[in-house]
């Protein structure tokens, strides 16, 4: 299942530099031309020729894709007339992946021919035109296809965490039997023989070319007032066999096509809360990867933009939440910390009651540490990579607790020493294979620390864009409590002896060596707490830097971030040094037995929700606290007030 690419709506995010487009295209009409209105039938515009083609003179410079007014485009000699350009952007912005509201009315043959003509005019590598279009009308065939799709949906649903599974059960993900016809778009990767221009080095471009035909079909259908829904809940080979396709053909798209009651104002997955739109500014890179910025605009700073978006709690929502708490059918203050959490959630969301913190995801950032060479732990360094494999196989403690809490677990390799094979649930974001020994030199360069922070920010962005409403911190890295102690000592001013713990359970001689190592690293580097990036580079871990970015990213997006243990607390101190208001988004999941955790939480002004004597890490304590956070939000939302329930309040 794919989702359509409409324009971004900044209201869905905490920041973004794109203009507010509403449901209209973002182009400016040329020479005062009026926008083409949408006819009642749902068809867009009137300037599309009967053949379905918009024209043949689109300049190579890409003028038709610019956002600036038509009069400012250069060279303009080959640009289409302003109304045509406007209509094109209106079609692009109005396209939807439709699953609901199809009508039984047949699609006229001339309309279908125009749509297929537009699809057939797509560009292709070497003009190989590897596509074919199979128009399915027979209900019996579509019922068999529908059964295949239902089976794959059930398989997918069985692997979803609790909140996602509940949300998925409410989604309609296909309309195979609801539309008068389905169109199967196939690809023949052998068409044209072995010497197709441009296919030699990249044979996969045959499928990419076919995707261009799908896009043309989709846009032409929208212009004609037809809805299209792409169904991908299939085993491709199983579907090809069911359709009786020759073995060399690939199914690229299965499309449900028909007239609709109305086109939704935004993607259906956005309206349902399943996912959110990424802003364009996140996706445009100038010159090289990571140099973000809109064309003609100033270069974007991922960290700077994120820090600028971190704000305190919304005062009005906080006041409303406190007032509502006093009106609920319970004695004032009887829910203790739970009431404070609900108020914080409301202030963070800017609304009362706040949304439930679901779906939720634990992001486990993994990295190795050069200081391991100093004998600060008896555990071998290869355990980091082995535990990553265990996380991905759902065999770790955090997997079990997260499953119970209904949260997803994803693993981010930001600095594991070993090379990890690709696997579902693994985000390969390695900055370097482990840090250097902080007693011999900086743990990493300043640039590497910045890049690791940016990995965390982007991970938060992507997970929230995927629909998650609560972020939980997780970590994995043998010897990472040593780096945590150093970070906490720097940011709190504590002595290493006060914040260095026993990690995985080390004996007294190893603990004394660990304290000495922290002392030595701090004396060598003398890190300045006013320079948090410098601190991370000197004595931090790659997972600490990434967690700091993850925390900042969540705060900027106004979603709650539940901290796990001492590693997350150390990272939170670095995040606060970068953006003091980040604490508005933070909830301390539990109190670790590591002494540095209490010192860090005190410095952050956070009260742990649980105190169970935990010191595992992984995100286990944060996952355990998730139901408490969810309960706080649900109480504020669902409990009746004295007035609504007809219950007498306390007599003054």
Q: Any idea which residues carry the catalytic annotation?
A: 618
| Strands 426-428 and 586-588, sheet pairing | unpaired
Residue 562 Cα distances to 341, 406, 483, 495, 608, angstroms: 11, 15, 21, 27, 10
- Which DSSP letter does residue 610 get? B
CB-based contacts of 521, cutoff 8 Å, min separation 6: 371, 438, 439, 486, 538, 539
Owner of token pair 């019922």 = 143
Residues found in the chain: 652
Owner of token pair 């690229």 = 252
| Strands 408-415 and 360-367, sheet pairing | parallel
Contact 544, 487 (CB under 8 A): yes
Q: What is d(CA 407, CA 399) in angstroms, rounded to the nearest whole number?
A: 9
Contact 218, 91 (CB under 8 A): no
Helix segments in 224-301, DSSP class H: 236-242, 268-271, 280-283
* Strand, helix or coil for residue 41: coil
Q: Helix-strand-coil percent breakdown of the chain, rounded to 5?
A: 45, 10, 45
Strand partners of residue 256? 182, 229
Measure CA of the first residue to CA of the last residue in the chain; give whole Å: 59
Rounded to a whole number, what is the largest CA-CA distance in the chain? 90
Strand partners of residue 409? 362
Tokens standing for 245?
A: 């396709």
CB burial of residue 289 (10 Å; 0-12, 13-18, 19+): exposed
Q: What is d(CA 467, CA 226) in angstroms, rounded to the nearest whole number?
A: 28
Tokens standing for 566?
A: 């001492």
Tell me the backbone φ, ψ of residue 328, rounded to 5 degrees: -70, 155
């Amino acid at each position: 299942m794919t989702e359509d690419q409409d324009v971004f709506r900044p209201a869905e995010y905490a920041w973004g530099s794109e203009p507010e487009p509403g449901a209209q295209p973002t182009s400016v009409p040329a020479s005062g031309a009026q926008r083409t209105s949408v006819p009642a039938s749902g068809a867009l515009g009137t300037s599309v020729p009967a053949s379905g083609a918009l024209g043949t003179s689109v300049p190579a410079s890409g003028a038709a894709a610019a956002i600036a007014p038509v009069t400012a485009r250069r060279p303009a000699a080959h640009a289409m007339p302003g109304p045509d350009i406007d209509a094109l952007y209106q079609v692009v912005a109005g396209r939807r992946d439709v699953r609901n509201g199809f009508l039984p009315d047949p699609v006229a043959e001339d309309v279908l021919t125009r749509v297929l003509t537009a699809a057939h005019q797509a560009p292709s590598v070497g003009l190989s035109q590897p596509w074919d279009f199979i128009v399915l009308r027979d209900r019996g065939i579509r019922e068999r296809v529908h059964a295949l799709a239902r089976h794959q949906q059930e398989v997918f649903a069985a692997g979803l965490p609790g909140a996602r599974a509940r949300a998925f059960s409410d989604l309609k993900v296909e309309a195979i039997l609801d539309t008068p016809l389905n169109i199967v778009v196939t690809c023949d990767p052998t068409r044209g023989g072995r010497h197709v221009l441009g296919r030699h080095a990249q044979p996969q471009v045959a499928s990419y070319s076919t995707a261009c035909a799908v896009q043309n079909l989709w846009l032409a259908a929208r212009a004609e007032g037809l809805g299209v829904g792409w169904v991908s809940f299939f085993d491709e080979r199983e579907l090809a066999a069911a359709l009786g396709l020759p073995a060399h053909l690939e199914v690229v798209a299965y499309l449900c096509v028909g007239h609709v009651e109305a086109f939704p104002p935004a993607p259906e997955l956005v309206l349902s809360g399943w996912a959110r739109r990424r802003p364009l500014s996140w996706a445009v890179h100038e010159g090289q990867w990571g140099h973000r910025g809109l064309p003609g605009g100033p270069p974007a700073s991922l960290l700077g933009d994120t820090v600028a978006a971190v704000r305190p709690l919304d005062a009005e929502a906080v006041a409303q939440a406190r007032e509502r708490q006093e009106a609920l059918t319970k004695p004032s203050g009887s829910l203790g910390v739970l009431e404070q959490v609900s108020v914080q959630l409301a202030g963070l969301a800017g609304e009362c009651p706040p949304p439930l913190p679901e779906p939720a995801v634990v992001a486990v950032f993994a990295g190795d540490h050069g200081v391991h060479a100093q004998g600060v732990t008896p555990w071998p360094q290869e355990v980091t990579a082995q535990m990553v494999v265990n996380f991905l196989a759902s065999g770790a403690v955090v997997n079990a607790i997260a499953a119970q809490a209904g949260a997803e677990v994803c693993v981010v390799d930001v600095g594991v020493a070993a090379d990890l094979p690709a696997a579902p649930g693994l985000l390969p974001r390695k900055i370097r294979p482990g840090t250097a020994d902080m007693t011999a030199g900086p743990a990493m360069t300043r640039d590497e620390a910045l890049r690791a922070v940016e990995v965390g920010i982007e991970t938060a962005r992507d997970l929230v864009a995927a629909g998650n409403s609560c972020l939980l911190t997780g970590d994995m890295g043998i010897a990472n409590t040593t780096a945590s102690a150093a970070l906490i000592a720097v940011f709190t001013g504590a002595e290493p002896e006060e914040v260095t713990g026993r990690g995985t359970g080390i004996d007294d001689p190893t603990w004394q060596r660990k304290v000495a190592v922290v002392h030595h690293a701090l004396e060598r580097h003398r890190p300045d707490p006013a320079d948090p990036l410098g601190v991370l580079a000197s004595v931090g871990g790659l997972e600490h830097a990434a967690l700091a970015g993850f925390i900042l990213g969540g705060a900027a997006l106004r979603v709650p971030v539940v901290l796990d243990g001492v590693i997350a607390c150390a990272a939170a101190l670095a995040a606060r040094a970068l953006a003091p208001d980040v604490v508005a988004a933070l909830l301390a999941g539990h109190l670790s037995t590591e002494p540095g955790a209490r010192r860090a939480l005190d410095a952050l002004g956070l009260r742990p929700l649980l105190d169970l004597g935990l010191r595992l890490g992984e995100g286990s304590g944060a996952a355990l606290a998730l139901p408490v956070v969810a309960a706080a939000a649900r109480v504020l939302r669902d409990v009746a007030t004295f007035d609504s329930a007809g219950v007498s309040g306390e007599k003054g």
